[in-house]
Amino acid sequence: MPTPGFPPGTLDATGYPIWLSELDVPGPNHTAHLVRDLEPARALEVLGADPGSAAACTLPEQRPDEFTSLPRAALGDPQCLSVLLATRIGGWTLVFDDADTTFQVGGLDTMRALLDGMRTGDWSALQEPEVPRPVPRAPAEALSASGGPAVTLHANISGLLSLDYAVDGSRAYRTTSDDLDHETAEPPAEVRAAAAAAGIVERAHLEPGETDEAAVTRIGCALAGVTWTMDDLRAAPLLAVALT
């Protein structure tokens, strides 16, 4: 398993970072945001959460069931759109979203209106508002506009993995597990270095030397120098907030 940027014990059998798979449930649908030089409370605010409602928390040793993420369990499994877990380790801040609600910045009101319409049959909130809503923005772009470089990693329940990398408020690179050879765009130098650190995990369904799907996530982690373990996360000050 030639993954030079990742110490032994930090990746699971598929090459996916263990700390990410441990935070979520099987069949994940999560988003992880990493941004340099931005405090966790400010990162939560950029993503549309109220940092004033965030609570210090401790992650339980294990999930209570296969449907509840560790951050959600830490808040007592609230009924909400998603739970965001935020912390800072070294110079990088993490915001983990257990339900992919922050896949774009500025879209929470629309999502709430959609869910309310599905529940009540009243779709009036989706009509054009008198005051225009903010134009949704990619979270990595929004985070990097307020701090340093930012990475957004997304795991879709369908199995698709994606990486967004932004600097100074602008997208610098994007790829997915469907574009493992980076055919869509030429990676910048730091992404090429991260890809070398991510390496390749040999999988039975792939040809020898073929890039594995989880390399997308490892590249994103390598861009931030993140080779964390669950012990690292548990030792860091953690904030959690429910998005409703």
Place 120 in a pLDDT band, splitting at 50, 70 and 90.
confident
Q: Is the pLDDT of residue 45 over 90?
A: yes
Q: Is the pLDDT of residue 185 over 70?
A: no
Q: Is the pLDDT of residue 210 over 80?
A: yes
Mean pLDDT lowest among 80-84, 95-99, 130-134, 190-194: 130-134
Determine the pLDDT at residue 6. Answer: 96
Segment 137-166 mean pLDDT:
95
pTM: 0.89
- The vertex-169 CA angle with 167 and 172, nearest 5°, equals 40
pLDDT tens digits for 8-21? 999 999 999 999 99
Question: Reduced to 3 states, what is the DSSP secondary structure of residue 117?
Answer: helix
Determine the pLDDT at residue 80. Answer: 87
User: Cβ contacts of residue 26 below 8 Å, gap of 6+?
Assistant: 66
CB atoms within 10 A of CB 21: 18
Q: Is the pLDDT of residue 222 over 90?
A: yes
Q: In this structure, are residues 15 and 215 in contact, taking their beta carbons and an 8 Å threshold? A: yes
- Rounded Cα distance between 244 and 107, Å, is 13
- Rounded Cα distance between 241 and 222, Å, is 27
Q: Report in angstroms the alpha-carbon separations of 216 from 12, 131, 153, 185.
A: 14, 39, 8, 14
Q: Which of 66, 69, 71, 46 is nearest to 56 (CA)?
A: 71
pLDDT tens digits for 61-87? 999 999 999 999 999 988 888 999 999
Q: Is the pLDDT of residue 98 over 70?
A: yes
